[in-house]
Amino acid sequence: MTRTDTPPTWDERASLTTFLDYVRDTARMKCEGVSPEDARKAPLPGSPLMTLCGLINHLRWVEYSWFEVMFLGEEDEGPWTDDDPDREMRIAIDAPLADLLAEYDAQSARYRELVAAHDLEATAKRPIGDGRHVNLRWVLLHLIEEIARHNGHLDIVRELADGRTGA
């Protein structure tokens, strides 16, 4: 897999979408070559849900939440509940990592189309916690930050699980 952090043009949209794809690709690369057993290991004693499978599934559902629920205003059909707010990480332990990555790839392709079809100033249908409606630009920046932060977690979990570090 190759990834690029240099946009094809220097405009804001190209920069944001290039970096979003870059951090997505980095997450995928950190999982390359891991065994099915190691993909399910939770090597951090205080974080039993922090597995490669759990983190990839979390990234997938975070993007779903921001693009479909918050930005488009669609009904929230995510796996989480009030009683189990991290359920997307818990249920991933039973899923093959290859399937989770394939679902994330397919979803990323759909969201590339969604972003291309909307102006960066377009506002989310649902408000954030303080009542404000963020714009698509903010959603993209937030997702870049969120995925990049979790790439650090993927690095740690991968190294503890099988001794390798991702790209």
pLDDT in tens, 55-76: 999 999 999 999 999 999 999 9
pLDDT tens for 82-131 read 999 999 999 999 999 999 999 999 999 999 999 999 999 999 999 999 99
Q: Do the domain assignments include residue 115?
A: yes
pLDDT at res. 167? 63
pTM (predicted TM-score): 0.95
Domain encompassing residue 77:
12-162
Q: Do the domain assignments include residue 4?
A: no
Consecutive H or E run containing 108:
helix 97-116
Q: Do the domain assignments include residue 138?
A: yes
Q: Do the domain assignments include residue 5?
A: no
Q: Could you tell me the CA-to-CA distances from 102 to 9, 56, 106, 139 in Å, in that order? A: 28, 10, 6, 23
Q: Do the domain assignments include residue 63?
A: yes
Q: Do the domain assignments include residue 70?
A: yes
pLDDT tens for 133-152 read 999 999 999 999 999 999 99
User: Please, which residues bridge with residue 131 across strands?
Assistant: none
| CATH, residue 144 | 1.20.120.450
| Nearest Cα residue to 58 out of 139, 162, 149, 133 | 149
pLDDT at res. 166? 60
Domain tally for the chain? 1
**Structure token digits, residue 84:** 């189990």
Residue with the two structure tokens 């409606």: 133
